[in-house]
Chain A
């Protein structure tokens, strides 16, 4: 262990003294405070803070990711190229210890720099309301909608299986199912999935004058005196003239109305006008939730609109309530970045264990880019995989599974809407990224470096 530690400390010294890290550190030291003061977002205090945290963390993540790739690939390849391994590996240190020392050195460097810049971002964020002389309303808004960590609940999805079967059978009877689809199980599955998506979308659409009812279970706010937040986004069939939708909402335990029993929990109602295709939030007192955790939202598409209103399937509507503090959420978001850097360090050490520096960098940057568009890549290859294909099943699919999903789990996705990143979610993400994706790379790099010839034959 002492040998691994010695190599790790040496790696940190290498990164710092060869000024590899200096470039990135100086950039962040200059850019973060400037961003804090200059970013305006949507003009509100909340918008400015969201923009700063989002861009600050993204920039830090990007620069530290590049630093990790460069440092990890350089430290191993340069030792082989410049032959320092001759003097190191002839000492009582096993090759796997040498590689692990390099990896831990890079991780140590990442941890140090990440803590440093996270503290800077956090401090600027906390100080921004004071620095910008924000008024009390704005401060109250950021306290409720930014300086918090809110759990997210999506409405109970109605069971559409029966409706789906009926719709499919009707299409089949009418001869509208394309030829060959019913016989091919994969094609039939894809066709039914698309049909289910349409049925689901229809259930999230309200024609003029129609009402939509959303039901939530297990709503358990920490404090009954706090507010809940409804976050939603409209899509429309035809754009209205002012690109806005007028609506009426009723929130509470609507079962009390149906059963005609006495009202135990209050029902709230409000009217709104909101821009289409943009996220909006409004607060609802937590006492609207029934004792069994039930809450319903009724949305009315008022006649003023003259268009069909649709709530998108993925993120059209959700209920947010405070579940933790901003600080705790921020720490978990930083740990999420750290997990990402650990994967990149493992990747670069793996590449450096058998490739030259430029080739290793090329490989790492390619994987990094693909990981940042994993959603698109996954969908693209899912289409390819619709047809039986050996290349996809045995080569592409395992590789795609090894690809981390940086775009799907960005820290900004949690901090900007003040959405809770739970410890369990972080634990699962860490497990899949480190144990299932980074560890195989580390094991491969250890095996390659242990059995490869370190020296070249010169004759």
Chain B
């Protein structure tokens, strides 16, 4: 299956009771979301994003055109058994508790009671709502409702996840968690369609994006390709001595280049998360959701050929005699597991395999580049991941975060 979502001239024209005031909400949309990619669907308010999602999911009938989702119709239970959907607001039953909510949706998937119970506990833990699992959803803050909404979208371990403004109402930690989750799900072979107008969210997690305006796609492509300024150069280093700085300035002056030099700033998001993490370490009590970074184990990893190849490569790389690798081996799980890998990792792995054929390795900027934790430490995260060392804390090392020179 090449495309998880495919539309053909999808059109929605809205008219009033008398057939007047026709508004073209979606206009001949040809959308193609590949399997296993995180696709960002962007657009200002009223651009037709949500209308498109509703047509994809069978909640609205297209005026013209056709929408295929997992090569079928979204109203077919065999198809939507494989889909997870989080609408723009969580739209949950306010009188049900968090646990009952997940149980209700689990029953709709006909999950056996034992599996349901296991998944519910895992998801509640993952979204940080285990402590409030018996509170009714109506008493939840918007962020907590969002979390339980996300949990219901994952109860069936979906192949395709459609998220409409998933970070709306969430605090920075929640936002970061959702973004980490999306990345992790992508690593596990899920396809994610992310609909948002929060550009930073999309930029951080998406492989490809489409920008919608007036019901039409105005731009589409790889995020890095679309955002790259090929006429500019960015260099990030550790702290330099005044003499070295002077030399660089001299060189730049000779090149007649316009430049700015300064120390990179933390993102406010990173700073905020560090402060909250410190408070959590001090066990400051809270009535809200708790922070979690661990994804639920039941959310299956991909088992296709690509995953298998990555797993073998990861095993090969991690088999190197290293003290760190030995120290971090999961002794509880001795079965070979498909190793999570970002597209960046995959590129690197591909290059490593190419190296066997004596081809030169060229380091290129990658989409999901890990950020140096501090300005005076070299970026070793990819190497660490490949050699099996613990991944840097997601809160501190987030793909897409970059220090500006």
Given A453-B59, A457-B12, A10-B46 contact (CB < 8 Å): no
Are A457 and B60 in contact (CB-based, < 8 A)? yes
Known: A84-B93, A458-B50, A459-B48. 4 other contacts (CB 8 A): A83-B89, A86-B59, A92-B80, A454-B59
Chain B residues with CB under 8 Å of A14's CB are 93, 95
Q: From residue A183, how far is it (CB to closest CB) to chain B in Å? A: 50
Q: Which one, B61, B93, B109, B152, contacts A10 given CB within 8 A?
A: B93
What total count of A-B pairs have CB within 8 Å? 92
Q: 1/0 contact trace for A90-113 toward B, CB 8 Å?
A: 111111000000000000000000
Give the complex CA separation of A5 and B90 in angstroms: 23
Chain A, interface size category, equals 20 to 34
Chain A residues with CB under 8 Å of B156's CB are 91
Are B51 and A87 in contact (CB-based, < 8 A)? no
**A126 contacts chain B at the CB level, 8 A cutoff:** no
Number of interface residues of B (CB under 8 A): 41
Q: 1/0 contact trace for A51-91 toward B, CB 8 Å?
A: 00000000000000000000000000000001111111111
Are B91 and A87 in contact (CB-based, < 8 A)? yes
Q: Which one, A3, A85, A455, contacts B110 given CB within 8 A?
A: A3
Chain B: CB-nearest residue to A3: B108
Q: Which one, B58, B91, B104, contacts A83 given CB within 8 A?
A: B91
Chain B residues with CB under 8 Å of A88's CB are 105, 108
Q: From residue A48, how far is it (CB to closest CB) to chain B in Å? A: 42
Give the complex CA separation of A89 and B12 in angstroms: 20
Are B96 and A90 in contact (CB-based, < 8 A)? no
Q: From residue B149, how far is it (CB to closest CB) to chain A in Å? A: 8
Chain A: CB-nearest residue to B152: A87
Q: Which one, A85, A92, A94, A453, contacts B81 given CB within 8 A?
A: A92
**B14 contacts chain A at the CB level, 8 A cutoff:** yes
Q: From residue B127, how far is it (CB to closest CB) to chain A in Å? A: 15
Give the complex CA separation of A88 and B104 in angstroms: 9
Q: From residue A456, how far is it (CB to closest CB) to chain B in Å? A: 8
Are A459 and B51 in contact (CB-based, < 8 A)? yes
Give the complex CA separation of A5 and B113 in angstroms: 14
**A2 contacts chain B at the CB level, 8 A cutoff:** yes
**B107 contacts chain A at the CB level, 8 A cutoff:** yes
Give the complex CA separation of A453 and B54 in angstroms: 10
Chain A: CB-nearest residue to B87: A86
**B25 contacts chain A at the CB level, 8 A cutoff:** yes
Q: Which one, B46, B50, B105, contacts A91 given CB within 8 A?
A: B105
Give the complex CA separation of A51 and B50 in angstroms: 60
Chain A residues with CB under 8 Å of B48's CB are 459
Q: From residue B298, how far is it (CB to closest CB) to chain A in Å? A: 17
Given A3-B110, A89-B59, A92-B108, A459-B46 contact (CB < 8 Å): yes
Give the complex CA separation of A36 and B183 in angstroms: 67
**Interface hits, A1-34 → B, CB 8 Å:** 2-3, 5-6, 10, 13-14, 17-18
Chain A: CB-nearest residue to B86: A87
24 residue pairs bridging A and B, Cβ less than 8 Å apart: A5-B107, A6-B108, A17-B136, A82-B91, A86-B91, A91-B80, A91-B108, A91-B109, A92-B80, A92-B108, A93-B77, A94-B75, A95-B75, A453-B60, A453-B61, A455-B54, A457-B12, A457-B14, A457-B23, A457-B51, A457-B60, A458-B50, A458-B51, A459-B51
Give the complex CA separation of A90 and B82 in angstroms: 10
Chain B: CB-nearest residue to A457: B14
Chain A: CB-nearest residue to B55: A455
Chain A residues with CB under 8 Å of B54's CB are 455
Are B59 and A92 in contact (CB-based, < 8 A)? no
Chain A: CB-nearest residue to B106: A6
**B286 contacts chain A at the CB level, 8 A cutoff:** no
Given A17-B95, A90-B74, A92-B78, A459-B25 contact (CB < 8 Å): yes
Chain B: CB-nearest residue to A84: B91
Are B14 and A459 in contact (CB-based, < 8 A)? yes
Chain B: CB-nearest residue to A93: B108
Chain B residues with CB under 8 Å of A454's CB are 59-60
Q: Which one, B23, B74, B87, B110, contacts A87 given CB within 8 A?
A: B87
Give the complex CA separation of A298 and B54 in angstroms: 78
Chain B residues with CB under 8 Å of A17's CB are 95, 136
Give the complex CA separation of A106 and B22 in angstroms: 40
Q: Which one, B78, B107, B149, contacts A3 given CB within 8 A?
A: B107
Q: From residue B87, how far is it (CB to closest CB) to chain A in Å? A: 5
Are B109 and A92 in contact (CB-based, < 8 A)? yes
Chain B residues with CB under 8 Å of A82's CB are 91
Chain B: CB-nearest residue to A10: B104
Q: From residue A21, how far is it (CB to closest CB) to chain B in Å? A: 12
Q: From residue A441, how far is it (CB to closest CB) to chain B in Å? A: 24
Given A6-B108, A457-B51, A457-B60, A90-B95 contact (CB < 8 Å): no
Are A92 and B110 in contact (CB-based, < 8 A)? yes
8 closest pairs, A vs B, by CB?
A92-B77, A6-B107, A17-B95, A455-B59, A91-B108, A457-B14, A92-B81, A83-B91
**B341 contacts chain A at the CB level, 8 A cutoff:** no
Chain B residues with CB under 8 Å of A10's CB are 93, 96, 104
Q: 1/0 contact trace for B365-376 toward A, CB 8 Å?
A: 000000000000
Chain B residues with CB under 8 Å of A459's CB are 14, 23, 25, 46, 48, 51
